[in-house]
Amino acid sequence: MDREVRVIIPAAGVGSRLRPYTEDAPKALVPIAGKPLIWHTMRRLAKMKVSEVVVVSGYMSEMLRASLEACPDTPPLRFVENPDFASTNSIVSLGLTKPFWDTPFCVIDGDVLVSCDLLQRVLDSPRDVLAVDTSKVYADIDMKVRIHDGRAVDFGKDLSPSARQGEFFGVSRWSPANAARLASAIDELLAAGKVGEWYESAMRRLAVEGGLDVLDATTDEWAEVDSAADIPTATALVERDEASFA
């Protein structure tokens, strides 16, 4: 079944915490189970038959583009470049993709791997959702999400513990209607000079204003490759998921 859903992958950052891997290659090309990280994402998206993938490049963009063009399993590809990647953050990278928000789309961070099962649940969701790991204890959560009645009502790295919480790890699904609200929040932050913010700052505004639906995930369904210590976890996910391609 073809899915009329775009996927947007912000992958412009330097990835300084992944050195030495990122001294001569972009973060999305860090090897996982013998292949570039982003190749595993492309293989999953090709299996899911998404309509198009928009990749935001920046650091070593030519190398990233060449690698993706050589990848044997990809949906149709489009590239957007963030020329200011060294002095801006993901809010700028995501904002550059606004021309492609006219149809339903998903955002998957370039340093995140998700299982085939979780990816299918996100792509096929009948509503806009944030994928949130609700299996973690508070002390182990990075980007914290406060949840009420199945909806994210606030999130940020500095949130205090709450009755129900989880971790947002950079996977979400958007309709054009909610994307228009997200675009307005991004524009307001950028107009205020907040180019160094994570894009989650804009999403947080929407959560606080009216909530965003949560799609529950578990820790074994995703991996963020933010440092060398994360590589074994990502490798294990790829190996577990291999049966999905049989």
Q: What is the mean pLDDT of residues 105-114?
A: 96
Closest to 14 in 3D by CA, of 32, 36, 29, 34: 29
Judged by DSSP in three states, 56 sits in: strand
> At how many degrees (to 10) do helices 200-210 and 176-191 cross?
120
Q: For residue 63, what pLDDT is reported? A: 93
**pLDDT digit string (tens) for 132-186?**
999 877 777 778 888 888 899 988 788 777 767 888 999 999 999 999 999 999 9
Give me the phi and psi of 134, to 5 degrees please: -100, 10
For residue 168, CA distances in Å to 71, 200, 217 come to 28, 9, 10
The CATH topology of domain 3-245 is Spore Coat Polysaccharide Biosynthesis Protein SpsA; Chain A (3.90.550)
Q: What is the mean pLDDT of residues 75-83?
A: 95
Q: For residue 144, what pLDDT is reported? A: 84
Residue 176: is the preceding peptide bond cis (ω within 30°)?
no
Portion of the chain with pLDDT greater than 70, in percent:
96
For residue 143, CA distances in Å to 158, 179, 199 come to 8, 21, 12
Closest to 93 in 3D by CA, of 136, 58, 42, 47: 58
pLDDT at 1 over 70: no
Q: What is the mean pLDDT of residues 195-215?
A: 91
Give me the phi and psi of 54, to 5 degrees please: -110, 115
- Domains of the chain by residue range: 3-245
